[in-house]
Amino acid sequence: MTEYLFSVHHDYSKPLFDDDADVEAMFRDTAAFNDEAQAAGIYVFAGGLEAPDTATTVHVREGETLTTDGPFAEARERIGGFWVLELPDLDTALTWAAKASAACQSPVEVRPFQGE
């Protein structure tokens, strides 16, 4: 089994939710996805992230630590949350990613963790 990172992407250059978005339904659907993944025994952990402007970037260069307020990369789209699921193969991961994307109403990037 391989652990996969499911990254939820948001475009932070515009409001997170459209005015007509049913946010309660999205949260309900995401909770149902979490319940389904836990019941299937594939759920490792998950979490939502605060907005990118809450980030602090730390970079050690030539022994000197540099900290900068804000995210590392300049981009409109950022990771807004994630799941780590343990699955047998990429095809299964993509099937679960489709469910995750439908539940959270956002694109979901799938990447396997490197082996030991």
Domain ranges of the chain: 2-112
What is the rounded average pLDDT for all residues in the chain?
89
Residue-wise pLDDT for 5-58, tens only, equals: 999 988 877 777 777 777 888 899 999 999 999 999 999 999 998 888 888 989
- The hierarchical CATH code for the domain 2-112 is 3.30.70.1060
31-35 own/partner pairs: CB under 8 Å, 24+ apart: 32/103, 33/99, 33/100, 33/103, 33/104, 34/83
Can you tell me the mean pLDDT for 84-98? 96
pLDDT at position 77: 73
The one-character DSSP state at 22 is -
With vertex at residue 66, the alpha carbon angle to CA 62 and CA 68, rounded to the nearest 5 degrees, is: 150
| pTM of structure | 0.82
Query: What does the alpha-carbon distance between residue 87 and residue 36 come to, in Å, rounded to a whole number?
Result: 14
H-state helical runs in the chain: 23-39, 90-104
Q: Please report, rounded to a whole number, the percentage of residues in the chain having pLDDT higher than 70.
A: 94
pLDDT at position 82: 94
**Chain centre to alpha carbon of residue 109:** 8
